[in-house]
């Protein structure tokens, strides 16, 4: 998937006055990264939410910064999003400018595909990791990594980070021994298959949402929201 485009404009409003922007459907943001001074911008909330749905925190976004008659482009990743604790609308966004010729590290979602035969025996499939960290050029960041579970036929099996397959040019830097998928049995199923002790399935981790501010947001968003 190619980089998504998002329009932005330079921002002069800072501090508590950014409430005025939000009333106009605008979200204050900053761009920071190597070789540049932190730049304050603003984006439309509707457009931002669309980009977040498709790009998340791992896919490239091309910011088209419109300043009068000129337009400057920046390739960025969404680093952090601060949201209202109750209403959940975005309060502030950090964009990290990437250098397309320099490798970086990013977290990539892990998606399970296929059906595990062992589940038909009463086993429970547990996804222990929902994302792994990779290192590659910005243009090579995978949208996701698929894990085929159709080969899991017994409780003694698992899938670890070392078993993952990634495109050329992408290196996984997460611990290779970490489990991606493991198998556990309920009490009833364990009795049927002759397990001596019950194995309790841990709760599958939910996908975390970053709501804290990054360093680049500075103190301008330090205010109470109604």
Range of the domain at 82: 4-99+209-217
Q: Is the pLDDT of residue 210 over 60?
A: no
Summarised one tens digit per residue, pLDDT across range 99-111 is 999 999 999 999 9
Q: Would you report the helix, strand and coil content of the chain in percent, each value rounded to 5? A: 20, 40, 45
Contact 183, 157 (CB under 8 A): yes
Summarised one tens digit per residue, pLDDT across range 54-74 is 988 889 999 999 998 899 999
Provide the pLDDT for residue 145: 96
What region does 167 belong to: left with phi over 0, alpha with psi -120 to 50, or beta? beta
Q: Is the pLDDT of residue 202 over 50?
A: no
> How far apart, in whole angstroms, are the C-alpha atoms of residue 111 and residue 104?
22
Number of domains the chain is built from: 2
What region does 3 belong to: left with phi over 0, alpha with psi -120 to 50, or beta? beta
Q: Same domain, yes or no, for 108 and 29?
A: no
CATH number of the domain bearing residue 110: 2.170.120.20
Provide the pLDDT for residue 42: 97
> How far apart, in whole angstroms, are the C-alpha atoms of residue 175 and residue 197?
29
Mean pLDDT of the chain: 84
In a domain, 198, yes or no: no
In a domain, 86, yes or no: yes
Element (H, E) at 92: strand 90-97
Nearest Cα neighbor of 162 from 148, 150, 178 is 178
Provide the pLDDT for residue 8: 97
Q: Name which residue leads in pLDDT, 191 or 77.
A: 77
Residue 168 pLDDT level (bands cut at 50, 70, 90): very high
Q: Name which residue leads in pLDDT, 185 or 74.
A: 74
Q: Same domain, yes or no, for 109 and 93?
A: no
pTM to 2 decimal places: 0.73
Q: Is the pLDDT of residue 222 over 80?
A: no
Provide the pLDDT for residue 95: 97
> How far apart, in whole angstroms, are the C-alpha atoms of residue 121 and residue 221?
53
Q: Is the pLDDT of residue 191 over 70?
A: no
Summarised one tens digit per residue, pLDDT across range 147-159 is 999 999 988 899 9
How many other CB atoms are found less than 10 A from the CB of residue 63?
24
CATH number of the domain bearing residue 49: 2.40.240.10
Q: Same domain, yes or no, for 22 and 93?
A: yes
Summarised one tens digit per residue, pLDDT across range 2-48 is 679 999 999 998 888 888 898 999 999 999 998 889 999 999 999 99
């Amino acid at each position: 998937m190619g980089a998504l485009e998002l329009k932005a404009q330079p921002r002069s409003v800072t501090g508590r006055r950014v409430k005025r922007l939000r009333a106009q459907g605008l979200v204050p943001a900053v761009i920071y990264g190597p070789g540049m001074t932190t730049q304050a911008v603003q984006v439309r909330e509707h457009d931002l939410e669309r980009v977040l749905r498709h790009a998340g925190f791992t896919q490239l976004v091309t910011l088209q910064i419109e300043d009068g008659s000129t337009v400057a482009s920046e390739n960025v990743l969404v680093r952090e999003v601060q949201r209202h604790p109750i209403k959940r609308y975005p309060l502030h966004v950090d964009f990290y400018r990437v250098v397309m010729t320099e490798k970086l590290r990013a977290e990539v979602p892990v998606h399970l595909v296929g059906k595990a035969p062992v589940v038909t025996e009463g086993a429970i499939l547990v996804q222990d990791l929902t994302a792994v960290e990779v290192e590659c050029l910005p243009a090579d960041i995978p949208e996701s990594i698929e894990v085929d579970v159709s080969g899991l036929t017994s409780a003694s099996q698992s899938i670890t980070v070392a078993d993952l397959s990634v495109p050329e040019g992408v290196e996984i830097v997460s611990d290779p021994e970490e489990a991606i998928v493991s198998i556990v049995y309920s009490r009833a199923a364990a009795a049927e298959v002759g397990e001596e002790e019950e194995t309790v399935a841990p709760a599958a981790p939910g996908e975390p949402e970053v709501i804290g501010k990054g360093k680049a947001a500075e103190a301008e968003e330090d205010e109470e929201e109604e």
